[in-house]
């Protein structure tokens, strides 16, 4: 192991719904330290999406993230001069982090509409278990399944 393991920090919750997951989404959306702007964007996307799906905002967010959480991921490992892609189970914290990152990055890479509309679209498609974020999750899990033969290199 290289160095010390990072200490667990207390998770920041959002002001409105007191949810650490929504707080994490706000921090990921935030750019240049403009948290109020990020909160406006996220709350708009979440409230619109929840009203379209006719569910509670926190339930909407949890379902959207749960549909994007990957169970396995690939890690490169050097064994005997060769690099192998080894499938490794993903911890719950990292699953959440990857899901939030994929949703925000995929919304950010699109153009043609305001960001809050793009984020709403991405969250709605994740909630409905479709769209690019879910496709990315399926691709990662399919690659991990294909490389199961190298799982014995894990230590």
Decide: helix, strand or coil at residue 4: coil
State which fold the 20-69+91-141 domain adopts: Ribosomal Protein S7 (1.10.455)
What is the per-residue pLDDT across 63-109, written as a single tens digit (0 to 9) for each?
A: 999 999 999 888 888 878 888 888 888 999 999 999 999 999 999 99
d(CA 137, CA 126): 11
Tens digit of each residue's pLDDT (9 = 90 or more) over 1-24: 578 988 888 888 999 999 999 999
Structure tokens at 101: 């990152």
Domain boundaries, the chain: 20-69+91-141
> What's the CA gap between 65 and 40, in Å, rounded?
20
Closest CA to 115 of 54, 25, 13, 55: 25
| pTM for this model (two decimals) | 0.87
CA dihedral (66, 12, 52, 124) positive or negative: negative
């Amino acid at each position: 192991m290289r160095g010390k393991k990072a200490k667990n920090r207390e998770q920041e919750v959002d002001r409105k719904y007191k949810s650490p997951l929504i707080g994490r989404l706000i921090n990921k959306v935030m750019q240049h330290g403009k948290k109020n702007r990020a909160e406006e964007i996220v709350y708009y996307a979440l409230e619109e999406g929840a009203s379209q799906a006719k569910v509670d905002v926190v339930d909407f967010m949890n379902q959207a993230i749960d549909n994007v959480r990957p169970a396995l991921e690939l890690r490169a490992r050097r064994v005997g001069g060769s690099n192998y892609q080894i499938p490794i189970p993903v911890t719950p914290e990292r699953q959440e982090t990857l899901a939030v990152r994929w949703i925000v990055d995929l919304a950010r890479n699109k153009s043609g509409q305001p960001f809050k509309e793009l984020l709403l679209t991405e969250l709605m498609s994740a909630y409905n278990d479709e769209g690019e974020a879910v496709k990315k999750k399926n691709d990662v899990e399919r690659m991990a399944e294909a490389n199961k033969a190298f799982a014995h290199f894990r230590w």
